[in-house]
Amino acid sequence: MAATGIFAESRTAIVNALTALSLAPVTDPRNARPLSVLINPPTFDAFTYNVGDIRFELLILAAPPGNQDAEDYLITTADTIMGSTTLAVTGGRPVSVTVGDQQIPAYSLTVAIAARRN
């Protein structure tokens, strides 16, 4: 079943914005890999039944190990996303995520987006 609704459309908007930045967004954790940006499911506050104040966590994934090369990639990519005039990045921090059985150096960014049904 394909996702529908304001959350799915918001996710699609973020995928499109990341693609326009020549990045490789993925929405399926099974496809998460180094040099991609994993978009996690959103959190949200409902303003009304029609309007959502939505937050997505983006995980920029670098190639292990977590060395200078990985950090250079992560902060450069974080800067690219933050520099987008369409994506509202509200914060970010370095993290380590487990993909498969492997620890991956990553950067977690929070992106805010508002969506209304009509």
Partner 1 sequence: MATTTFLSNATVNMTVGAQTYDLSDQCTAATITAGFDNLEITAFGDTAHKFTKGLQNVEVSLTLFNSYGSNEVEAALYDAVNTGTCTLVISPSGTTESATNPEYTITGAMLAQFTPINSTVGELSTQEVTFTGGTWARDIV
Binding site for partner 1 (CB under 8 A): 47-51, 53, 88-90, 112, 114, 116-118
Shortest spacing between CB 90 and partner 1, in angstroms: 4
In the bound state with partner 1, the residue whose beta carbon lies nearer, of 49 and 101, is 49
Q: Quick one: which of 12, 9, 111, 19 has its CA closest to 59?
A: 111
Give least dist CB 55 to partner 1, A. Answer: 9
Which residue reads 């995520």 in tokens?
97
Structure-token pair, residue 72? 């250079």
Q: CA triplet 44, 111, 93: central angle to 5 degrees?
A: 115
User: Nearest distance from residue 89's CB to partner 1, in Å?
Assistant: 8
